[in-house]
Amino acid sequence: MSQAIAPEKNGSVPYEQSRLYSLRHSAAHLMAQAITELYPGVKLSIGPPIENGFYYDVDLDEPIKESDLTAIEKKMKELAKLDQAITCKKAQDREDAKRIILEDCTLGQGEHTAEYKLQLLDAIPDGDDIIFYEQGRTDRAGNKHYFIDLCRGPHLPTTKEIKYFKLMSIAGAYWRGNVNNKQLTRIYGTAFETQEELDNYLYVLEEAKKRDHRILGKQLGLFMFSQRVGSGLPLWLPKGTTLRETLTDYLKKEQLERGYQGVITPNIASSKLYEKSGHIITYKDKMFPFMEDEDNNTFILKPMNCPFHIEIFANALRSYKELPIRLAEFGTVYRFEQSGELAGILRARGFTQDDAHLFVTPEQLEEEFIGVVKLTMDVLKKLGLTNYRARVGTRDPNDTKYVGGDENWKLAQEAIENACKSMDMDYDVSEGDAAFYGPKLDLIIKDALGREWQMGTIQVDYNLPERFELEYIGEDGNPHRPIMIHRAPFGSLERMIGLLTEHYSGAFPFWMSPVQIAIIPIADRHIEYAEKLKKDFKEYRISIDSRRETLGKKIRENQIQKVPVMLIVGDKDIENNTVGVRSREDGDKGAISIDSLKEFLESV
Amino acid sequence: MSQAIAPEKNGSVPYEQSRLYSLRHSAAHLMAQAITELYPGVKLSIGPPIENGFYYDVDLDEPIKESDLTAIEKKMKELAKLDQAITCKKAQDREDAKRIILEDCTLGQGEHTAEYKLQLLDAIPDGDDIIFYEQGRTDRAGNKHYFIDLCRGPHLPTTKEIKYFKLMSIAGAYWRGNVNNKQLTRIYGTAFETQEELDNYLYVLEEAKKRDHRILGKQLGLFMFSQRVGSGLPLWLPKGTTLRETLTDYLKKEQLERGYQGVITPNIASSKLYEKSGHIITYKDKMFPFMEDEDNNTFILKPMNCPFHIEIFANALRSYKELPIRLAEFGTVYRFEQSGELAGILRARGFTQDDAHLFVTPEQLEEEFIGVVKLTMDVLKKLGLTNYRARVGTRDPNDTKYVGGDENWKLAQEAIENACKSMDMDYDVSEGDAAFYGPKLDLIIKDALGREWQMGTIQVDYNLPERFELEYIGEDGNPHRPIMIHRAPFGSLERMIGLLTEHYSGAFPFWMSPVQIAIIPIADRHIEYAEKLKKDFKEYRISIDSRRETLGKKIRENQIQKVPVMLIVGDKDIENNTVGVRSREDGDKGAISIDSLKEFLESV
């Protein structure tokens, strides 16, 4: 899930200011209260809301197991129902705060349990308000419940409103994230406003686990990793390669028809190239270690294709008559992601971008931008990703970091918005979301599980043409600077195939399936007929499963491989010139003639 | 020319033992004699025969120019005709040799002219014979001519036999190749046994210069180099990319039909991979500098694809039923060639191999080898490279460096020879030419200029399966070691396209031409018709030259671009539904109907 972004309600307040955020924060306190009752003497540290829920880091005398979470959850439910008011309490000064921590927060378990809270207090700058949130009530049986925590809030008014929550998992976490400190126990939970939302979240989690592209990628023979090759460096297996090349061929054809020109550039370059582009400073963190030869020449593994395409543009004197020039490359780049951030092929260290750079005149910007948006939409439609929204990233009017001039920014922003309008595409404007070198359009895809993925960014760039002093001769005979558009409808083949694998749960549409048809001869004497069939339908990717296994086993295994169409052939089929059709979606469709098969396959 | 190998007469003695070698050596002496007469006081250093001729390094008081070579050549002709006997003279001892150098070799020009020869004498180990060759005669006018040189020979018996020679060029060369020493003048020449051979050599040189792929590559827009990207790292321009992808697509299709499976692997790997393969020791010189991260992980830019394909093989438990497994990849590799060895795309630092590795059982070796030879021959035929010879590289029976066992080597060598025989292909056996890990077959292509190129090596490998402990489960239920075959019919796309460019002088066959058809509308009012034509013939790669230039200029420029077919369209063509056809090979073919055009294009 790490690559999917949390669904965001259009037009709503940011998550950090939402009621849901407060709810999860209060749920974290509620969990901490439950833990103090179940594990007296526990030392609490911190417990914030996070993207999909909340956690609390606690220091327990003895370790707890995931199975203990049920009891904590039960206790939380009891405490919630008590309708404890959650109220804010401001310490008069640092001394007062210290007293509250040592007397109230410790709940009578001794001052040593306040260890982490005292350190947190120390970290609060002088002059800042020191705030606590407390909750408590005596239940019907006369038992007193109380909890108070050093906390900036905000919270819900009462625990009664914390209804739909679930504790998820346990992990280790070092105090203050420092490996030299003590390892605490982190307990993760989640909470929602309604049962339906909680159920949906848990369903998506469960479903996402089943659809995990790493598991499906192995099961379907798409790709592999090898320790000897290294983390984050996928090796594409035959079926994955076929899928990848099917996508590549499709996009190449689309691009050719739209006037793109293919180029191929090296995977390395002299450091001079990245000095000129500025990446050696702005992007160094993401670059692989440099290669230095004995003569002090430095080579860099390419993290992006743009400077190469610029070198190609700059290789000849360009006239306005040649523009727009659209250079496209399926370019493999390498980025030194931290190993903790790697996630199968969704986030890898080596990946192939379906990259292109358009060099355009200011007059061409809008039309070319529209062309790119149209291509991107056509690509997403072809891939079956039809649920998406658009976001225009513009300048922060209070920031001065931007290059390119006011007039240009206005022009580009209008071009982007006009492109959206002309395409009847709804969009939000996200102020301050632009890169320093130009405004952009993001398409945010919602997958079959409702998870959102930022894909298909289209970026206007005033910076690189400036840095490389690019020019074309205008109609007026004078040199002018072109504008660049960066775009990659897939993003990268790796990320898109990872997403498609999870979106389709491995059951790829017919046109992109690595094996489109599995012909299953019932016995050896039917193999010849199977091979004739394969030849007659050679426009499809067909495998013949001629193993000496039972028909049932062969069908089952091709089902696991999610092959869209199985053709089962036996004596009667040879006699009647038919095939038994089994569709991945509709199951057994019975015997049909070869002519009907042609029609059927065209309709799949 | 650096990548083409010298044509070799089959069955003849090695060049170093040939009469041609002695002839060139004697020609070098003759040139030195001529120089001593024209430039008295010249200091001679060394003058050996080389691959295509000979040179002499001389130390002159004032520099000479290429135009001075004519006079030297004329003097050589005079001296040759004198029929000077060339005789060997052995010095009695080192003292005697020193005397000969100081007295005879200096030709009365003073002892300082013997500077280099004395140093050469010093370099002769004690106990070795010290040999001179001398020649001399008094001409009809009574002038004495004499020359003697410290030299191991052998030489022709008389200068009279040096008839067909030419001085070629002048270059600088440091004494003993050391930049700290004095720079001498190197004069290059060549000599042959017959006028015809000399003429042919000069013609090929001249023609090769015109066909130089670096010049044509620029002129035809195939590829470029950039100082900011680095030496030996080509960037493929749109037309070169189209040509390259046309070749790639063709081979991919051929391979798919022959049961190959495509894979895609990263351009880098952990050093662990190359430790396992052994390349980190045997191949380090050719590897780019390593990339080391802060945690001491080392990454290596891949110099070859084999270890990756092995990881894919080893990724699953393999049964004999799955074998042969044929993994193919258009894999881009990087090798750190010395900058002096780089030659356009013929020898680059980054290139893409049309690589494949076959994992076979011993029983399958012969059949699979035949399959590979057949594929290679089909590919070469398709490329129009039909003039080649085969060479089987076998073990040196006196060497013990080989791995894999006698029985296996016998099996493999028989498989290779049987493959040649079954293909009716003549072959030589080159004993000792095998790699330490297995025997091989080389195909040596002769290009349009008669230059030979070693391409299409097919290599049997017993070593890597052993190092990686590869296994498959045999029919007997026990693990067995597979044999690997390495092959690459193109060698690399770069080298093959470089060769094809020179072979065809840029006039590529119709099927691989980046632009197959240029439609030239005579005036703007014919553009619409041109565009309709383009659509109707969309299976071809068509450009429309709608520039407002004269017809003559447009035809000329498309000729320079070596476009195979031009279609010129004007008023009459629109009226009569015709096109004016101009073929690259046959020139103007007049107006033909659209139907006839279809036929014509199918026949090109």
| Best residue in B264, B492, B549 for a mutation probing chain A (most A CBs within 10 Å) | B264
Fold classified for A229-496: BirA Bifunctional Protein; domain 2 (3.30.930)
Query: Within 10 Å of residue A145's Cβ, how many Cβ atoms?
Result: 18
Under 8 Å CB-to-CB from B91, ≥6 apart: which residues? B97, B100, B130, B131, B132
> For B496-555, what is each residue's pLDDT tens digit?
999 999 999 999 999 999 999 999 999 999 999 999 999 999 999 999 999 999 999 999
SS3 track for A66-80? HHHHHHHHHHHHHHH
Mention every residue, 6+ apart, whose C-beta is less than 8 A from residue A284.
none
B268 contacts on A by Cβ (under 8 Å) = 230, 233, 288, 301, 334, 350
Q: Mean pLDDT across the stretch A579-588? A: 94
Whole-angstrom distance, CA of residue B464 vs CA of residue B314: 12
**Distance between CA atoms of residues A380 and A385, nearest Å:** 5
- Hey, which residues 345-364 in chain B have their CB within 8 Å of chain A? 350
Record: contact B233-A268, CB cut-off 8 A: yes
Q: How close does chain B come to A269, measured CA to CA in Å?
A: 4
Tell me what pLDDT residue A455 has: 86
Rounded alpha-carbon distances, angstroms, from residue A83 to A136, A151, B49, B366: 9, 20, 103, 83
pLDDT value at residue B339? 84
d(CA A398, CA A377): 33
- Which residue from A minimizes the CA distance to B228? A273
B229, B261, B315 ranked by CB distance to A308: nearest: B229
Lookup: tokens for A277: 């582009």
Q: Is the CB of residue B9 less than 8 Å from the CB of residue B15?
A: no
Overall size of chain B counted in residues: 604
Does residue B340 belong to the interface with chain A, where contact is any CB pair within 8 Å? no
Contact indicator for B38, B71 with CB cutoff of 8 Å: yes
A356 vs B contacts (CB less than 8 Å): none
SS3 state of residue A333: strand
The Cα–Cα gap between B79 and B71 comes to 12
User: Minimal CA–CA distance to B368: which of B382, B357, B381, B383?
Assistant: B357
Look at the block and give the residue holding tokens 């390495």: B486
* Correct CATH for B517-603 of 1.10.3720.10, 3.40.50.800, 3.30.390.30, 3.20.20.190: 3.40.50.800
Residues of B in contact with A312 (CB under 8 A): 224, 235, 237
What's the pLDDT score for residue A7?
A: 47
A594–chain B nearest CA distance, Å = 23
Q: State the nearest Cα–Cα gap between B144 and chain A, in angstroms.
A: 54
Rounded Cα distance, B512 and B499, in Å: 14
Q: And the tokens for B571?
A: 């008023």
Mark which residues 8-67 of A lie under 8 Å from B by CB: none
Q: Which of A263, A301, A327 sits opposite B291 (nearest CB)?
A: A301
Nearest-angstrom CA–CA distance, B6 and B445: 11
Residues of B in contact with A226 (CB under 8 A): 273, 311, 315
pLDDT of residue A12: 60
Q: How confident is the model at residue A9 (pLDDT cuts 50, 70, 90)?
A: very low
Please give the interface size between A and B, counted as residue pairs whose CB atoms are below 8 Å apart: 161
Q: Which of B137, B157, B166 is nearest to B33 (CA)?
A: B137
Phi, psi of B586 (to 5 degrees): -105, 0
The residue-averaged pLDDT of A43-63 equals 94
Weakly modelled stretches of chain B, pLDDT under 50: 1-11
What are the C-alpha distances in Å from A158 to residues A33, A34, A80, A85? 14, 15, 8, 4
A553 Cβ contact list (under 8 Å, min separation 6): none
Which residues of A does the annotation mark as catalytic? Answer: 306, 335, 353, 355, 357, 440, 486
Q: Catalytic amino acids of B?
A: 306, 335, 353, 355, 357, 440, 486
Residue B448 or A300, more confident: A300
The confidence score (pLDDT) of residue B14 equals 85
A229 at B interface, C-beta within 8 A: yes
pLDDT digits (tens, 9 = 90+) for A116-125: 999 999 999 9
Q: What is the 3-state secondary structure (H, E, C) of A335-363?
A: CCCCHHHCECCCECCEEEEEEEEEEECHH
**pLDDT of amino acid A398:** 84
Distances (CA, A) of A565 to A505, A519, A562: 17, 8, 9
Number of Cβ within 10 Å of residue A321's Cβ equals 10
Q: Using CA atoms, how far apart are residues A542 and A557, in angstroms rounded to an integer?
A: 15
Interval A435-470: pLDDT, tens: 888 899 999 999 988 889 988 789 999 999 999 999
Res B10: pLDDT = 42
Compute the nearest-CA separation of A451 from chain B (Å).
29
> Is there a contact between A263 and B229 if contact means CB atoms under 8 Å apart?
no
Are B299 and A289 in contact (CB < 8 Å)? yes
Any CB–CB contact under 8 A between A327 and chain B? yes
Output the CA–CA distances (angstroms, integers) from residue A199 to A71, A195, A325, A450, in the order listed.
20, 6, 51, 13
Whether A234 has its CB under 8 Å from any CB of chain B: the answer is yes
> How many angstroms separate the CA of residue B301 from the nearest CA in chain A?
9
- SS3 of A517, please? strand
Bridge-based pairing of strands A183-192 and A325-334 is unpaired
Q: Do B235 and A265 touch (CB under 8 A)?
A: yes
CB nearest B236 (choices: A237, A264, A293): A264
pLDDT at residue number B153? 87
Query: Tens digits of per-residue pLDDT, B132-173?
Result: 999 999 999 999 999 999 999 899 999 999 999 999 999 999
Query: Which pair of structure tokens corresponds to residue A550?
Result: 């039972």
Q: Is A187 exposed, middle or buried (0-12, 13-18, 19+ CB in 10 A)?
A: buried
Convert the pLDDT of each residue in A468-514 to its tens digit.
999 999 999 999 999 999 999 999 999 999 999 999 999 999 999 99
What is the mean predicted confidence (pLDDT) over A28-35? Answer: 97
Q: What is the DSSP letter of A13?
A: P
Q: Answer yes or no: are the C-beta atoms of B216 and B506 closer than 8 Å.
A: yes
CA-CA distance, A310 to A355, in Å (whole number)? Answer: 13
Question: Mind listing the pLDDT tens digit for each residue in A144-160?
Answer: 999 999 999 899 999 99
Contact between B357 and B458 (Cβ < 8 Å): no
Report cis status (omega within 30 of 0) of the bond before A154. Answer: yes
Nearest-angstrom CA–CA distance, B352 and B334:
9
> pLDDT digit string (tens) for A251-263?
999 999 999 999 9
Q: To 10 degrees, what angle do helices A238-257 and A365-383 make?
A: 140
The encoded tokens of residue B502 equal 């020179």
pLDDT in the model for residue A13 = 77
Distances from the Cα of A141 to the Cα of B75, B225, B591, angstroms: 126, 85, 106
- Taking contacts as CB-CB distances below 8 angstroms, the residues of chain B near A299 are 230, 288-289
- As a whole number of angstroms, the distance between CA A307 and CA A298 comes to 16
Per the CB < 8 A criterion, the answer to whether A307 and A283 are in contact is no
- For A327-352, the pLDDT digits (tens) are 999 999 999 999 888 999 999 999 99
Q: Which residues pair with B479 in a beta bridge?
A: B473
Is domain B9-211 annotated with CATH 1.10.8.60? no
Question: Which residues in B lie closer than 8 A to residue A311 (C-beta atoms)?
Answer: 224, 226, 228-229, 235
Nearest CA in chain B to A265: B235
Q: Does B276 touch chain A (CB under 8 A)?
A: yes
d(C-alpha B464, C-alpha B410), whole Å:
18
Q: Is B234 on the interface with A (CB under 8 A)?
A: yes
Minimal CA separation from B302 to chain A, in Å: 10
A336 contacts B235? CB cut-off 8 A: no
Backbone angles phi, psi at A435, to 5 degrees: -70, 165
Nearest-angstrom CA–CA distance, A596 and B184: 83
Minimal Cβ distance to A266: which of B229, B276, B289:
B229
Strands B49-50 and B43-44: unpaired
The percentage of residues in chain B with a pLDDT greater than 70, rounded to a whole number, is 98
Please indicate if any CB of chain B lies within 8 Å of the CB of A246.
no
CB-CB contact of B545 with B531 (8 Å) = no
Backbone φ, ψ for residue B519 (5° rounding): -90, 130
Q: State the greatest distance between any 2 C-alpha atoms of chain B, in Å, as a whole number.
A: 95
Closest partner residue to B228 (CB to CB) among A229, A238, A273 is A273
Q: Is A467 on the interface with B (CB under 8 A)?
A: no
Boundaries of every domain in chain B: 9-211, 229-496, 517-603
Q: CA B420, CA B24: separation in Å to the nearest integer?
A: 37
Once rounded to an integer, what is the mean pLDDT over residues A368-395?
94
State the Cα–Cα distance between residues B362 and A530, nearest whole angstrom. Answer: 29
Q: Are A49 and A65 in contact (CB under 8 A)?
A: no
The answer to whether residue A171 neighbours chain B at the CB level (below 8 Å) is no
Query: Does any CB of chain B come closer than 8 Å to the CB of residue A292?
Result: yes
Asked if A88 reaches chain B (Cβ–Cβ under 8 Å), the answer is: no
Neighbours of A15 (CB within 10 A): 14
Mutate to test the interface with B, among A251, A291, A497 (most CBs of B within 10 A): A291
| Tokens representing residue A294 in the block | 């004995």
Whether B229 has its CB under 8 Å from any CB of chain A: the answer is yes
pLDDT at B12: 60
pTM greater than 0.90 (yes/no): no
